[in-house]
Amino acid sequence: MTEAIRIFLDSSDYSMLSDPNKQTPALADTLQELFDLRDSGRIRFYYTGTILSEMAPLDPAYAFAAEQRTDMLVRLCGTNALAWHSTILASELASAYEVEGPVFSAHSDTGNWYPLEVFRLLPNDQLDICKTIIDVLSGPGVSRAERRKAQKQLLKRGQPRPAVRAALGEDPENQSIDKLMAHFPMRPEDARTLMRFYTGHATADEATLAFRASLGDPRWMIQWFRQHHTELNEFVTLLRKPAATVVEAILSAFEKAKEIRDLDHTFGSGFADSIITNKKWIELQDSFLSNVAAQLAESALNIQPQPLSPAILELRCPGLTVAVRSLFSAWWTTTTKMPRAPQPNDFADAMHAIYAPYVHVFRADSFMAPHIQKHAARYGVRVVSKLQGIGEAIDAAIASKK
């Protein structure tokens, strides 16, 4: 059977396709065509963790719209997900520097969108109930007689009585469950499994499977992101740190290009382009890519790397290459003659662009699309700037596979 065409849609596409106020006959036809192609097995849609977080409404007034677009994502993608961007980058860089990297698949049909490190957040050990009871009873304010009486009621032959274990595992008021759910994005039933592990009623494997099941549920994850997006718990911090590292590396390497582009403000629009020859432009862009890769490799792989040649990076780091070159190209071409200045969401678009080489059809906004297409074409990717053009791109991708 021919390999299914992999599709990446922008978060705005799910909003457009699910909003009844934006429906047109043409859009309805496009959606039906997408469903038909998906049902035939010829195409497969993929979501990412970044898409899930972007789709979470920050204002309760938009909760219903969020439910609609979440339903659309689930209808189209199911549990097909692309790996976390930092995992992809670490794997690419490990290949480029020929060191050991993460073992993973870029494509998952079980919702594995998250970084591998999330499971390190789970506790390694069960709660030692007996020791906890003794420690509490040995504290100040408890007499010897009270201690003996309590130990007799709670312990038998040095072990917690069954009723004690049962009471700890049930937590009828769900207070402990609520606390767990604030730290881990786990559905209530899965959080109870983790609590049962704490109290010796479930195994570590059962707790891990429960966590994995919650992470692989797009509806739950979007709801959790909405409720906890402002909190700096361990899970949220773990997700945000890699993106911050990428942004820092890009900004650091971009300073030289920015200094040159700032000459336009002194000597007039287009001056920078007049002094940068095609050769110098290529050298500048190559240096930018190599420096970003080296800085990220130091952080992700814990090595002291030397900058690699662009040829190696283009071969072994397709996601990084497309993201960095696209952002560099977009920012360099933003001059005083153009009305649009660089924007913060350009970074988000660049993070999305990491996935372009891992799909066949990639949706990007109208500003970034031509830049991503320019640098992703070598990997056989079709970049689409408008949702209305997705059908034509899919048809072309299917035809190329015959």
Reference 241, options 54, 86, 36, 33; nearest CA is 86
- The whole-number pLDDT of residue 167 equals 52
DSSP 172: T
**185: CB partners within 8 A, 6+ apart:** 214, 215, 220, 221, 224, 225, 228, 235
Question: What is the Cβ-side half-sphere exposure of residue 96, based on CA atoms within 13 angstroms?
Answer: 32
- The whole-number pLDDT of residue 353 equals 95
Could you please report the per-residue DSSP string of 180-237? HHHHS---HHHHHHHHHHHTTSS-HHHHHHHHHHHHT-HHHHHHHHHHHTT---HHHH
- The dihedral through the CA atoms of 34, 225, 200, 121 has a sign that is positive
Query: How many CB atoms lie under 10 A from the CB of residue 11?
Result: 20
**Residue 396, SS3?**
helix
φ/ψ of 155, rounded to 5, equals -120, 150
pTM, two decimal places: 0.81
Are the C-beta atoms of 215 and 221 separated by less than 8 Å? yes
Spell out a b/e string for 25-38, using b for 16 or more CB atoms within 10 Å of the CB, else e: eeeeebbeebeebb
- The whole-number pLDDT of residue 128 equals 44
How does strand 382-384 pair with strand 107-108? Answer: unpaired
pLDDT per residue as tens, the chain (402 positions): 578 999 999 999 999 999 999 989 999 999 999 999 999 999 999 999 999 988 887 777 777 888 999 999 999 999 999 999 999 999 999 999 999 988 889 999 999 999 988 988 887 655 444 444 445 446 566 566 765 665 565 556 655 556 555 555 554 445 567 778 888 899 999 998 888 887 777 888 999 999 999 999 999 999 898 888 666 678 888 887 877 777 777 776 666 666 665 655 565 555 555 555 456 667 878 988 999 999 999 989 999 999 999 999 999 999 999 999 998 888 766 444 444 555 667 778 888 999 999 999 999 999 899 999 999 999 999 999 999 999 999 999 999 987
- E strand or H helix at 291: helix 278-301
Residue 50 tokens, joined: 């970044």
Q: Amino acid identity, residue 5?
A: I
- The dihedral through the CA atoms of 56, 58, 59, 60 has a sign that is positive
d(CA 91, CA 83): 11
- The whole-number pLDDT of residue 144 equals 67
Please, what is the end-to-end C-alpha distance for the chain in angstroms? Answer: 11
